[in-house]
């Protein structure tokens, strides 16, 4: 109703002027024309459909760890010695080398053990150390307290850079008194290593193969000793690969196929039984990949009754 009153008011002065200049049929004709004009504009207004505004973008999922208050980028400095500054790395996901799309968001989670004599509380921090910050904050507070000897998962929500190639993001920990430290004997930073590819069909493959060897029993000279070789295969995306085990005595396995659904690790193992006096000395096994081909080293073990 408000718009109708505004339209009628805008034509009122013109009607009065025309009525003053003419009379009778001429005035009726002019009034009819004005009314038709008003009616046409009313129909035009009624049929007008405003263009809808685009929907507001959905806010991105926030990381479990909330960035600490903004401040200067942490200064790179040698890690100081402190009884509270000691940690070991137990693993991470996704594995280093995973292929991602430009701008893809992903969770990087490190599993860390507190090997110090102190309880890490939420005043401890995870700080950016070197490389590409990958869209994360520069400083995060610890998600929870961690007693000495206990394990904690450190998850950060990161974003793959927009440029193709390998990108590395390195992080360290910080005590409340400012001591920076990493993991292991040399206090190295934890890291996220990714491959960014804008290719619609990236060339997924095997990134690494690591071996562990166990002996059962671990010591002594029983009638038979079992050696188990376990291979941990890391892939950078969904992949199907074929392989066989090669062994020092020519007792190779059949060729087999494994399909993995996403970047991660797959474990394969094989056993070799040795008798008390059978072929002492150095032995080996090796995974041979037939498709895709991937060079691997041998896993050595020693058959020695004196162990």
Domain extent listing, the chain: 2-47, 87-196, 206-303
Q: Is-contact 244 288, C-beta < 8 A?
A: yes
Give domain 87-196's CATH superfamily: Immunoglobulins (2.60.40.10)
Q: Is the pLDDT of residue 25 over 60?
A: no
pLDDT value of position 145: 95
pLDDT value of position 49: 43
The upper half-sphere exposure of residue 103, i.e. CA atoms within 13 Å in the direction of its Cβ, equals 3
Give domain 206-303's CATH superfamily: Immunoglobulins (2.60.40.10)
Whether 87-196 and 206-303 share one fold: the answer is yes
Kindly state the average pLDDT of the residues 157-179.
Answer: 96
DSSP string, the chain: -HHHHHHHHHHHHHHHHHHHH--THHHHHHHHHHHHHHHHHHHHHHH--PPPPPPPPPPPPPPSSPBPSP-PPPPP-PPPP-TT--EEEEEEESPTTEEE-TT-EEEEEEEEEE-SSS-B-TT-EEEEEEE--TT--SEEE-SS-B-TT-EEEEEEEEE--SSSEEEEEEEEEE-TTS-EE-BTTTTBPEEEEEEE---SS----EEEEEEEEEEESSSS--SEEEEEEEEEEEESSSEEEEEEEEETTS-PPPPEEEEESSSEEEEEEEEEEEETTSS-EEEEEEEEEEES------EEEEE-TT-
pLDDT value of position 66: 52
The upper half-sphere exposure of residue 225, i.e. CA atoms within 13 Å in the direction of its Cβ, equals 25
* 103 vs 106: CA distance, rounded Å: 10
Q: Is the pLDDT of residue 254 over 80?
A: yes
The mean pLDDT of the chain is 81
Query: Comparing 48-62, 85-99, 236-250, which segment has the lowest mean pLDDT?
Result: 48-62
β-pair type (190-196, 98-100): parallel
pLDDT value of position 307: 56
Q: Is the pLDDT of residue 259 over 70?
A: yes
Residue 247 neighbours by CB under 8 Å, 6+ apart: 253, 270, 272, 284, 285, 286
Q: What is the pLDDT of residues 275-294, one digit of tens each?
A: 877 788 999 999 999 999 99
pLDDT value of position 52: 42
Q: Is-contact 133 62, C-beta < 8 A?
A: no
pLDDT value of position 65: 56
Q: Is the pLDDT of residue 19 over 70?
A: no
Phi-psi region of 178 (alpha: psi -120 to 50; beta: other; left: phi over 0): left
Instruction: Please give the share of the chain, as a percent, with pLDDT higher than 90.
Output: 65
Residue of 173, 171, 193, 169 lying closest to 181 (CA atoms): 173
* 47 vs 44: CA distance, rounded Å: 5
Q: Is the pLDDT of residue 188 over 90?
A: yes
pTM for the full model? 0.67
Q: Is the pLDDT of residue 150 over 50?
A: yes
Q: Is the pLDDT of residue 122 over 50?
A: yes
């Amino acid at each position: 109703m408000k718009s109708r009153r505004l339209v009628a008011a805008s034509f009122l002065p013109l009607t009065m002027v025309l009525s003053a200049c003419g009379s009778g049929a001429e005035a009726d004709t002019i009034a009819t024309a004005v009314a038709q004009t008003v009616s046409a504009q009313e129909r035009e207004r009624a049929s007008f459909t405003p263009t809808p505004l685009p929907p507001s973008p959905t806010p991105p999922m926030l990381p479990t760890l909330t960035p600490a208050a903004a401040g200067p980028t942490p200064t790179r400095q040698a890690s100081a010695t402190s009884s509270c500054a000691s940690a070991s790395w137990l693993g991470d996901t996704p594995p280093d080398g995973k292929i991602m799309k430009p701008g893809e968001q992903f969770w990087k989670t490190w599993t860390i053990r507190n090997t110090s004599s102190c309880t890490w509380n939420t005043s401890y921090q995870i700080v950016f150390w070197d490389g590409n910050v990958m869209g994360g904050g520069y400083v995060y507070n610890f998600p929870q307290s961690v007693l000495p000897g206990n394990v904690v998962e450190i998850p950060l929500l990161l974003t793959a850079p927009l440029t193709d190639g390998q990108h590395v993001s390195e992080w360290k920990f910080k005590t409340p008194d400012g001591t920076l430290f990493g993991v292991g004997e040399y206090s190295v930073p934890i890291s996220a290593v990714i491959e960014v590819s804008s290719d619609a069909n990236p060339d997924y493959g095997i990134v690494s193969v690591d071996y562990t060897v166990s002996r059962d029993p671990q010591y002594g000279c029983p009638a038979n000793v079992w050696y188990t070789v376990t291979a941990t295969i890391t892939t950078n995306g969904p992949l199907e690969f074929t392989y066989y085990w090669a062994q020092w005595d020519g007792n190779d396995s059949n060729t087999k196929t494994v399909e993995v659904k996403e970047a991660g690790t797959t474990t394969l193992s094989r056993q070799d039984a040795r008798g008390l006096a059978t072929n002492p000395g150095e032995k080996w096994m090796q995974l041979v990949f037939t498709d895709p081909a991937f060079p691997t080293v041998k896993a050595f073990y020693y058959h020695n009754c004196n162990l």
